[in-house]
Amino acid sequence: MINWLIEWSLKNRVIVIAIYVALALAGYYALVKTPIDAIPDLSDNQVIVFTDWAGRSPREVEDQVTYPLVTSLQGLPGVRTVRASSAFSFSMVNIIFEDNVDLYWARTRVLERLNLVTKQLPQGVVPTLGPDATGLGQVFWYTLESDEMSLRDLRTLQDWFVRYQLNSTPGIAEVATVGGFVQQYQVDIDPNKLRAYNMPLSTVVEAVERSNNNVGGNVVEQGGEWAIVRGIGLVESVADVENIVVGSQNGTPIYVRNLGEVKLGNAFRTGSLDKNGKEAVGGVVIMRYGISALEAIENVKKKIEEIKPGLPPGVRLVPFYDRTDLINRTADTLTWALTEEFILVTLVNLIFLAHFRSTLIVTIPLLLAACRVPPDVYLWDHVKHHVARRYRDRGFRPRRCWNCCD
């Protein structure tokens, strides 16, 4: 068999060269397009469904939300298993698919099934899909810092400006907010005043909900022109809430301000972000599944430079976790290993084969692979790192390698 293959190759050199060139081009294309990351992603091929049901116990969430979702999603094609967990006012369902199933095809199938199962859930409960990312997608963290603005103002800036800008970056699945306080309009009702006006609390709640809305009307024709009739009721300040009419007594309107105090406050929270012993407001940038981490981080950095002029005076966007350095150090290790292999393979082939062209066939792919890995300024530090591992007892510790020499 080997003799026949060699004979056929010698007689059909053009075909052999064409096959070699095609394989080389395909390999180089795969080498260039392969995403580079420092951490191998071994997570399951899964789609996560989140469902909020405020104020309900885990038992109620399990019986009325989690169980209908699990029983309905188990019949999807390609599903390996379905895992679920129920907590206070919260449900999370993990649908794990087979490894050969495309992630976005799986998300489409889940969405189709959710449209049907939503009718079985309690009123107002709407399940949502998690981001198209994995647990290793957190590639960039940052904080918003200011000496003048409060944590509530920084949180508002993060939620309504910075987050939306970064979320439009190519390769980014989601930008989550961490820390700070969510701004709320809070109405503190005095029970004695409610009793004095003989008004139940539910009436006040309904009036506030009904008033925080813009209503569209019809048109009025005047002089051949249409004048649009609209009802503007969207709350924009504390005064707007105070002037909401709850009812009337003897022809006199009763406003919210007559029943209690309206103020800006902070929403209830269950966690915070601590940076160097001080509370901060930050964001977590999560990249999409299958995207190169280096490209995603570079796109985020470019976007940050674009939005910095739009930030209020004195506000700084400070990165405090960036996976770029870790990826570059990992790539340096791979570059060093490929370089060593290139040198050793070249020497062995030259010694035993004594044929330069045969040696090139084996060593050129290794050389291209070594050149493909992005270089980093810490390559020499990694050389010293290997020396330090051998002579660590002598007290030598290389610069910038204190995390990996222990």
Q: What is each CA distance from 157 to 140, 311, 384, 404, in whole angstroms?
A: 19, 9, 45, 39
Dist. CA 186–CA 318, nearest whole Å:
32
Q: Report pLDDT for 135.
A: 81
Contacts of 101 by beta carbon, 8 Å cutoff, 6+ apart = 45, 78
Q: Distance between CA 295 and CA 36 in Å, rounded?
A: 9
Give tens-digit pLDDT for 237-292: 899 999 999 988 888 899 999 999 999 999 888 788 988 888 999 999 999 988 88
Q: How far is CA 265 from the centre of its chain?
A: 28
Q: Cα(400)–Cα(378) distance, rounded to whole angstroms?
A: 8
What does the block give as tokens for 68? 């209908």
pLDDT for res 281: 94
84: which residues sit within 8 A by CB, 6+ positions away?
Answer: 66, 69, 70, 91, 92, 93, 94
pTM over 0.85: no
Q: Which residue has the tokens 């919210």?
A: 256
Domain boundary assignment for the chain:
2-33, 46-129, 138-182+269-322, 189-266, 326-394
What integer pLDDT is reported at residue 369 of this predicted model?
59
Options 1.10.3720.10, 3.10.310.70, 3.30.70.270, 3.30.70.1430; CATH for 46-129 is: 3.30.70.1430
**CATH number for domain 138-182+269-322, candidates 1.10.1740.10, 3.60.150.10, 3.30.70.1320, 3.10.310.10:** 3.30.70.1320
**Which fold does the domain 189-266 belong to in CATH?**
3.30.2090
Do 46-129 and 138-182+269-322 share a fold? yes
Element (H, E) at 261: strand 260-266
CA 91 from centre of chain:
19
Identity of the amino acid at 36: I
Residue ranges, the chain, pLDDT below 50: 374-406
Query: Residue 364: what pLDDT?
Result: 66
pLDDT in tens, 176-197: 999 999 999 999 999 999 999 9
